[in-house]
Structure formats: C-alpha cells, structure tokens
Structure 1
Amino acid sequence: MLKFPKKLIIILVLVSLIAPMSIESITHAREIEEQEVEEYYRGKVLFVREIESEGHSRMVEQRAEVLLTTGPHQGEKITVRNTYEEGNTYLSLYLEEGQDVILVSRDATDQLEKIYLHDVARDRGLFYLTIIFMLLLVLVGGKSGLKTIITLVFAGLVIARFMLPALLGGYDPIFITSISAVIIIIPTLLIIGGVNEKSLAAIIGTATGVGIAGLLTLWVGELAYLTGFNSEEAMMLFNLDQDINIRGLLFAGIIIGSLGAVTDVSMSVASAIFEISNNNRTLRVSNLMLAGLNVGRDIMGTMANTLLLAYVGSAIPLLLLLLGVEMHWMRIINMDIIATEFVRGITGSIGLIISIPVTAFVAAVLMGKK
C-alpha cells in the first residue's frame, strides 16, 4: 500500500478546499479578459532611422524596422514609428538596433498594418533575475532553499488564482485576504518546519499577529477616516465597472504586507525554543518561554525596522516632494496618503511584536517539561 507524505496530504486538502471557492471568481476574471481585443507580440528592432522634428531640437522621430518573433505574423517585418524627447517622461522610449520590443494589435482582424509599437521588452531581464535568485536559494540553502521555492510558488498561485480574482469579483477584501493568508501560512510553515510542535506554534503566532494587525487597521481606519484612495491605482479601480471595495483593499493590503515579516519572526522564535528543548528536556515552560522572548526581542528590532524602512523607501519621492514645496507639517500628517502609510507601517510592526510572546508561550507549552 502506498504511503503519502503528511505535507502533501495537507496541501492537497487545502487546495481542494479553495478550488470550489475560486471557480466563480476565476471565471469572472476570464470573462473580462475575453472582452479585450488587444493582442501583444514580441519583436526585434533590425534598423532605426531618426528624423529630427522641425522647430524642436530635442524631439526625435524614429522609423524602425521590426521583425515579429511571435504571433501569427512571426518572421514578417513591419515599420513602426516612435517619438522620443530627452527629459520627457511620456516620450522617453528610445529605440536601438537589436532591442527587443513589445507590439500591440488593437484590431480583432489581426491585420499586419494594425500592429503598433507598445514598449520595450523587460520580461527577459526579470526572468534572468528570478533564475539567479532561485539558483542562489538552492546553492546556499540546499534542501531548505528548494522548500523556499516551493512555498513561494504556492503563495504566488494562491494570490494569482484565488485572492486577486475573488477581489476583482467583488467579494469582501478583508475576508478573502484573511482566508488567503491562512491558506498561505499553514502549508508554508509545515513545509519549512515540518509537521511538529514548532510549526504549530509558528502558525498560531503568525495568525495572531496578522489578525491583530488587521483589527488595528480597521479600528484606526475608522478613527482616522482613511478612504483607501491613496494611490492612482486605487482611483483607476474605482472607475472600473466592478463592485470593488476600495477601502477594504487598503486593509487587505496591510494584512498581506505584514504576513511575511510576522511569519519570519514566529518561525524564528519557535525554532529557537525547539532547539533549546531538544538539547535540554528538563527545561520547564517558564524557562523556554523566557528564552523565546529573549530571542524574539533581538529579532523584533531588526524586523520592525525592515517594515518601516520598506514603507518609507516606497514613499521617498512623495516625501521629497512634500519637503521641496515646504508644506506645513500639520497638513502633511493629515494627508490621506501619509496617514495610510503611517498606519500600514505601525500596525504591521504591532502585529509583529504581538506574535513574539504568543509564539513563545505556545511553543513553550507544547515543548516544555510537563
């Protein structure tokens, strides 16, 4: 009789649970995709000719011969036009020979003369970077690195195939994101830590920390009148013909954003207690919990800085803009976008801090001398 690994059984059960829930949302997303008539192809620039515009010395019009490398017209050549102006944000695409480009057809008949230049191709650079990242994970981490790759792929599938289609389908963002977080947490920690007390403690600690961060966000969001319209993307979503809770997306983003850091801290504390307990079976619950708290305190400072610095890093252009126009601090701190980023960073850090004593307590109870 064949025996299946416990981890595989757990993952299959979770997938079977989320599959029925995601069918409707995925179908809805596919219907939206089918309404699009745009088709994208890849091409390579063979030759570029430049024509300077009269009366505008910095404006350059380019005529490029492009070889189509994908699509129904693969192998055929077309001529595309491009306008470039140095220092212009919207006319900054400069074509060169040998460059890979993306072309778009906005006509359902797929005629060759209806294909236009869209942008330069950037996906290959991203692909090479991903390969380097995975190779380093395996070379440095060995078996653990391979587990990390598996968990990353699983988390990506849950987000792409369940969470995002469900949000686009109009389901409650906080509920869907919370379910997605649980689905990601359990297999990830079980694969990395194994089916044992360590993983159980880390799962409970992570769920508690992320849950606290979500609840705090809801409370402060009401108190601070956060709208969720803190980015251009949110405003564009509002104009879509979809029933999307923009404010709920704000809270959902904070839950997902804090998930990684909280998971890291919880597993680190649980692993430390697990190793201490294995080396000394005579230690009681109080001794193990104190040891876990000491480890957690050291991790807490660096991880809290990681969260805050990540949010500040993404907002550097905005902060420089505010400083450049010498805006009053009272106006700055009361801006929706600033208040949102502040809440995002602080609530995530609070969830991280809460997860430390919870994980330490659960792990100590599970592993300490009874």
Structure 2
Amino acid sequence: MAHSHSHTVVDHGPPRRGLAVTLTVIVLAIAALALAAMVALWPDSSKVAHDMNPYGGQGVTTVGAKVTGVDPFDCNSGGEGPDGMPQVRGDCAHITATVDEGTATFDLDAARYKAGIKPGDEVNILRIAPEGQAVSYEFLDFRRGVPLTALAVMFSVLVVLVARWRGLFALVGIAVTMLALTKFVLPAFLAGESPLPVAIVGSTVIMIAVLYLAHGVSIRTTSALFGTLVGIALTGVMGLGATAWTSLTGVSSEDDQRLIATAPDINLSGVVAATMVIAGLGVLNDVTVTQASAVWELRALQPAMRAGSLFASAMRIGRDHIASSVYTLVFAYAGSAMTILLLITAYQQSLGTMATTEEIGTEIVRTLVGAIGLVLAVPITTAFAVLLAPKGRDVEPDDAYVPAPPRGGSHAGPAGA
C-alpha cells in the first residue's frame, strides 16, 4: 500500500499584525527615548571647543598650484634633528609651480621629496603674505579632490547597480551616519559631554535608521535591530570597564595633547571607551543582519523545525561568521596601524613589550572589546530571530513517513515502489 507524504510550508498568513503592531510600538518607544536622550545631550554651540585654523592666520591663504619643475639639491639632511629624532637622509628639492597670479617657488624637505613629487602634480600650497613683506609659499598637501570624488561616484554607482534600491537606501544610511557623527557625536565630545552615553545614543539612532533603510521595515529587520542594540550596550559597558582596568588615558601622541589644549573639557579616556562602540558598529550590524536572515531561511526550508534545533542550526552559521568577523577586526587594525607596526619591527622591540604602550594597548583593547561584543551579539540576535520568526505548521503524525523494513530482499519506497 502506498504511503501518503505531504510537504509542510511556512504559515505566513494571515500577516502577523498583532506581533507587528507590538514590535512597532517597542521600536518607536526605543527611537523616542534615543531622540529624547540626543536632545538632552545635544551640545551647546557656545561650549563646543574651537581653535584657529593653523593654516588660516592673518595674511595666510591656501591656493591651488600645478608643479612645473622639481630641482633636487643637497640640504645636508640626515643624522639627528634638534629634538633628537632621526632625520631622513637624502636631497631636498626646490619646487616651481604655477598659481593664478603667476609662479610660486618653495622648498621640500628630504622626507617630502623622497615620498615623491613630479611635474604635473596638483598641489595645495600656503601663500604667506605678511603686511609689508614679500610673499612666500610653503607646501601643504597634494590635491586629491578629483580622484576621491571619482572613487566615491564609482562606489555609489556600483552599489546601486548591484544592490538596486537597497543599495541606494544604504547610501542614504551612510549620509545619516555622517550627519549624526559630525553634528552630534563629535561636537558633544568637544563640549565635554560624557562620551559613552553620547556614543550609545548616537549609535542607537544611527542603527535604527540604517537597518530599516538598507533592509526594509520587517519583523526580520527588527530582530536584527534588537540584537544590535544589545550588542551596542554590552560593548559600551565592557569598553568602560576595560578602559579603566587597563588605565588607558587616551593621551598617546602629540595630536592628543594638542586636542586637550584645544578642548580642555574633553574626557579622552571616555572617548577611548566611546570609540570602541562606534568602531564596531559596521561589523556588528553585518553579523546581526546575517543571523536574522539565516534563521528566516532555515525556517522557510524546514517549517516544522523546533526552536531549539533552529537555534542550533543558525548558530552553526554564526560560528563561521564570528571567525571571519574577528579576522576582519584584526586585519582592519593591522592595516590602519601599519606605520606603527613597521616602527616596532625597526626598533627591534618585542610585540609583548610594545603592546603595553598607550598607543598600541588602546588599539588592542578596542579590538578585543569589539570582538567580545560581536561574539555575544550572535547568540543574542539568533535568540531574538528564533523567537520572532514565522512558525511552521506542526507536522501531523500522518505526515511523517517511516520506511518499511526490507522483505525478502525488496525495499518499499515512499510510493510503494
């Protein structure tokens, strides 16, 4: 006798309006609290530290120029400088360039010249014209506006072509992120607001906007949002504790000292903890969205899978993602800190010795805290997704097929074959 065998499907309907309404109320409440906190922490413009542009003093302007001549000369560069630091050995260069008012000339030190400059290069130079004195020029930097704009346009076009509307909305999310950072987070740091609450509030607003813009308004996106928000909170708490435990002050370079002099109310140790939250947002977002999507796909493939089995299956995917994401954090630091790592190698100092310095230690703590927050976010997001994912219809006993044991060397198949 033939056995009947029916395939189950995910029961999506009727649409889970009750759950959708509940989640909408929760998300709107979180957004309202975050916006209210942002308003409360919004810095007074009069308290935001400002300093005079070092390249904008009286009689100093920045002008564009095109290099027309490069003439090297011996400037006795080498040995030690006046501060005891080693100097680059080699020739300096006398540079001729065209500007709007005619011709400009200036000298490059050995380090700048060795880095590379040639006729035809577009550069920015300082035009120094003190009252009653002759005009002089100094090299400022290369002009990179055109190539940077071209790369940004290329990136945007490719994102939209490949990801279409989601890519376009992801670009809008980038704009929202930059707006939140430049208009709220950074000014609040400079105004002396507590950095960690500012970072958590700013990150919450950014993630709510970015996730729904890039991935659409859905229960699946909401489950990823919940996991992301918990990850942000955990990273913030761990960052604060790790910063205090490792005695990170945030003062590791001349730029840090200059910043304190410019903004005496800034809490640099707090900024270190805050950057641990902000630095991990991208990878955290990637992991939580992937885990939510994995749960939804697994539920669609096996509607009758129990919650525990669904969680375990999604976590097998999550473990692979954790491994690759942790590598991403390490590689990102290694790439951005290549100059420091090269100096460590050149000084013939052990990594263990250099790792305890403020500059290297800060990056190590930032990477480890970000990785811990990332690892914890995976099971948390998976749990939210399993809880909120569509439930398949229970498999009825008649739906389960158990093959009959072989008889006389023959084997009965599902259709009695």
Give 1:81's match in structure 2, choosing from 93, 98, 105. Answer: 105
Change (3 A) 1:35 1:231: closer
1:78-157 aligned at under 5 Å gives the runs: 79-85=103-109, 88-89=110-111, 96-105=118-127, 113=135, 117-157=139-179
Aligned to 1:64: 96
Aligned to 1:3: none
Aligned to 1:44: 65
1:1-370 aligned at under 5 Å gives the runs: 20=39, 24-26=43-45, 29=48, 32=51, 37-38=56-57, 40-45=61-66, 47-48=68-69, 50=71, 52=73, 59-62=91-94, 64-68=96-100, 76-77=101-102, 79-85=103-109, 88-89=110-111, 96-105=118-127, 113=135, 117-327=139-349, 331-369=353-391
Read off the aligned partner of 2:104 and give its amino acid letter. Answer: V
Deviations 1:129-172 (A, max 9, x none): 11111121112222221122111111111111111111111111
> Any unmatched runs of 5+ in structure 1?
1-5, 69-75
Whole-Å separation in 2 of the counterparts to 1:97 and 1:228:
41
Aligned to 1:71: none
Deviations 1:277-330 (A, max 9, x none): 345544443233223212211211101111112122333333333343333565
Read off the aligned partner of 1:103 and give its amino acid letter. Answer: I
Under a length normalisation based on structure 2, what TM-score does the superposition of the two structures give? 0.73
How far did 1:360 drift? Answer: 0.7
> Any unmatched runs of 5+ in structure 2?
1-23, 78-88, 393-417
Whole-Å separation in 2 of the counterparts to 1:363 and 1:333:
39
Whole-Å separation in 2 of the counterparts to 1:305 and 1:27:
43
**Do the aligned residues in 1 keep the contact of 2:37 with 2:201 (CA within 8 Å)?**
no
Instruction: Note the aligned Cα RMSD (angstroms).
Output: 3.5
How far did 1:126 drift? Answer: 1.5
Instruction: Give the aligned length.
Output: 351
Tell me the secondary structure at the aligned position of residue 229 of structure 1: coil
**Do the aligned residues in 1 keep the contact of 2:236 with 2:276 (CA within 8 Å)?**
yes
Tell me the secondary structure at the aligned position of residue 353 of structure 1: helix
Whole-Å separation in 2 of the counterparts to 1:34 and 1:21:
30
- Which stretch of structure 1 is more off in the superposition, 304-313 or 57-66? 57-66
Whole-Å separation in 2 of the counterparts to 1:221 and 1:22:
22
How far did 1:356 drift? Answer: 0.7
How far did 1:358 drift? Answer: 0.6
Tell me the secondary structure at the aligned position of residue 142 of structure 1: helix
How far did 1:273 drift? Answer: 1.5
Aligned to 1:72: none
Tell me the secondary structure at the aligned position of residue 158 of structure 2: helix
**Do the aligned residues in 2 keep the contact of 1:285 with 1:368 (CA within 8 Å)?**
no
**Higher fraction of helix:** 1
Read off the aligned partner of 1:327 and give its amino acid letter. Answer: Q
Tell me the secondary structure at the aligned position of residue 89 of structure 1: helix
How far did 1:210 drift? Answer: 2.3
Deviations 1:79-108 (A, max 9, x none): 3222135xx325557664433222335679
How far did 1:199 drift? Answer: 1.4
**Do the aligned residues in 2 keep the contact of 1:26 with 1:166 (CA within 8 Å)?**
no
**Do the aligned residues in 2 keep the contact of 1:169 with 1:242 (CA within 8 Å)?**
no
Under a length normalisation based on structure 1, what TM-score does the superposition of the two structures give? 0.81
Whole-Å separation in 2 of the counterparts to 1:94 and 1:323:
24
Whole-Å separation in 2 of the counterparts to 1:13 and 1:155:
18
**Do the aligned residues in 1 keep the contact of 2:129 with 2:136 (CA within 8 Å)?**
yes
Whole-Å separation in 2 of the counterparts to 1:13 and 1:268:
26
Whole-Å separation in 1 of the counterparts to 2:308 and 2:154:
44
**Do the aligned residues in 2 keep the contact of 1:265 with 1:356 (CA within 8 Å)?**
yes
Higher RCO structure, 1 or 2 (CA under 8 Å, sep 6+):
2
Read off the aligned partner of 2:192 and give its amino acid letter. Answer: G
